[in-house]
Structure 1
Amino acid sequence: MARLVPLLVLVCVAVISAWAWFRSAEPVVLPKLPPVPAKVDSPPPVEEVPYTTGPASADGIGKFFHGREIAKVMGHPHINWLERPEREQEEAPSKAISDIDLAPDAVIADIGAGSGYYSFRISPKVPRGKVVAIDIQPEMLDFLRTKAAELKITNVEPHLGEIDDLKLPAGSLDAALMVDAYHEFSHPREMLASLLKALKPGGRIFLLEFRGEDPNVPIKPLHKMTEAQARLEFESAGFRFTGNLKPLPWQHLLVFERP
């Protein structure tokens, strides 16, 4: 036992010395790691639906998507029909616009904007944002620029798209509007994919189409769509249906969103 006492003393001295050294040592500073970049949400994968072809009807192009024949495009020579004075009485665009809920700083694309009839009327709802007025016909955009200058509207931005691509950056849109135009898209599958990419997660689409279910709507059949057909095409492209804002005199106002 007597021999163990000096040994225990030595052990205690060693422990106390080690503790004192540890307390006086400089703290170890770990290098800062670079911040982890925020995850960018990618659009959900969707299955490519093939086009089919067949004999063209009088108002169609003989190309079919989900069984629907695509209609011929109404070109810039028909601007007067888009700007007709009786359009408010027939279609109630002011009611449609009042039903479209947008933040004041939202960026909304008017796809197939044509003469800008809707673009200019919706621009006051986004005073700190803008309306990207997209068309594939330069003549339509020329008309739109002249009209914007006459009206002194500065938050409507003309934008030339392509038949299969909006030509917009990913995640750049809060919302999109399509008024009686989607049924004429010659490449709807590609355009829906382009729109899915351009919308932010939760971004909405407001789709106006003449009601295909209603024989009393005085529009050629290929220039109308049923709610069921629109849902089939948009939901198959990865969008989620959120509702039909009824009623308008002749049209559906369908709302979809990017998940």
Structure 2
Amino acid sequence: MRHLAYASVWVVLLFGTQAWAQEAAAPESVKPGINEKFLDPELNVEEWVNRFEVESREVFAAKSEIVERMKLSPGDRVADIGTGTGLFVEPFSEAVGKDGWVYALDIAPKFVERVEKLAEIKSLNNVTPVLCGQDDIRLAPGSIDAAFICDVYHHFEYPDQSLASIHKAMKPGGKLVVIDFNRIPGESREWTLNHVRAGKEVFRAEIEKAGFRFVNEVEVPSFKENYFLQFERR
């Protein structure tokens, strides 16, 4: 019985230590709950199409300018991270051509399903929808030449982990484009100040810390609220 008691103590200590280690290692969200609505199994996709794909949305109105300034080449493999309703999937598919590939990633199963149907309807044979994790884009190492994060970086709950997975998936010298909202107290809309956790300088510093070199801020003449930053994977 004494041996059994000692064994039980060791089991408790072992599993207790493992549980503590797992808890200690678990990343902490920088904006808890910001993605809750997208993870809803009853997500109404059409509602988001009507919100995302309208002229009043700056990146929708500037879609052609954005794609042009991405400077994708035929044969490129690009990850559209946080693809949402798939706004950029078709133009990216055309830009990279039959020898390139588009990975359309999202954490929302309903958005991934929509992009899958969109690719089928439009015969986009170089598009793969991917259900990614909240802290991992789930792409193979060295599998992409470029990554595109449009109005999505502020939704990264675990930016360190997400950026690490992007860095791992990207080839050295690969291109990372981040478009997000200017958050300037006293100038930005109240919605932006409440919704977007930090400004451009903070986001840039996080991305550089993750192993990306800042290249430049690209001018998009029609932008009033957004900015376009370009980085290179070191």
Q: TM-score range by the shorter chain?
A: 0.7 to 0.9
Q: Which residue pairs with 1:129 in the alignment?
A: 100
SS of the residue 1:232 aligns to: helix
In terms of Rg, which structure is larger?
1
Cα deviation code 1:57-101 (max 9, x no counterpart): xxxxxx43xxxx567125243332112244368751211111011
Q: Which residue of 1 aligns with 2:128?
A: 157
- Aligned partner of residue 170 in structure 1, secondary structure: coil
Aligned-residue CA RMSD (Å)? 2.3
DSSP 3-state at the match of 1:117: coil
Q: Partner letter of residue 156 of structure 1?
A: V
TM-score, normalised to structure 1's length? Answer: 0.68
Structure 2 letter corresponding to 1:100: M
Give 1:37's aligned residue.
Answer: none
Q: Residues 83-134 of structure 1: CA distance to partner in whole angstroms, max 9, x if unpaired?
A: 2244368751211111011220000000011111012222211002011001
8 Å contact from structure 2 (residues 54, 61) kept in 1 = no
Indicate the residue corresponding to 1:242 in structure 2: 215
Structure 2 alignment gaps of length 5 or more: 1-25
The 5 A counterparts of 1:1-259 are 63-64=29-30, 69=31, 72-73=34-35, 75=38, 76-77=43-44, 78-87=48-57, 91-127=61-97, 128-213=99-184, 215-216=187-188, 219-221=191-193, 222-223=195-196, 225-247=198-220, 248-259=223-234
Q: Is the 8 A contact 2:181 2:192 kept in 1?
A: no
Give, as a single letter, the amino acid of the residue that structure 1 aligns with 2:78: I
Identical-residue share of aligned pairs (%) = 32
SS in 2 for 1:116: coil
Q: 8 Å contact 1:179–1:209 — kept in the other structure?
A: yes
TM-score between both structures, scaled by the size of structure 2: 0.75
CA distance in 2, matches of 1:145, 1:250: 31
Paired amino acid for 2:227: H
For 1:203 and 1:166, locate their aligned partners in 2 and report how far apart those are by CA, in whole Å. Answer: 16
Distance 1:122 1:236 in 2: 28
**Paired position in structure 2 for 1:29:** none
* CA displacement 1:158-181 (0-9 Å, x = unmatched): 011111111111111100000111
Q: How many residues align?
A: 196
1:223–1:93 CA distance, 2 compared to 1 (3 A): farther
Q: For 1:85 and 1:145, locate their aligned partners in 2 and report how far apart those are by CA, in whole Å.
A: 24
How big is the shift at 1:218?
Answer: 7.1
Q: Which amino acid aligns with 1:145?
A: E
The alpha-carbon distance between structure 1 residues 224 and 95, as it changes in their structure 2 partners (threshold 3 A), is: farther
Distance 1:90 1:193, change over 3 A: closer
Change (3 A) 1:83 1:224: farther
Partner of 1:36: none
CA contact under 8 A between 1:211 and 1:224: conserved in structure 2? no
Q: Which runs of 4+ in 1 moved over 3 A?
A: 85-91, 216-219
C-alpha separation between the residues in 1 aligned to 2:32 and 2:74?
A: 35
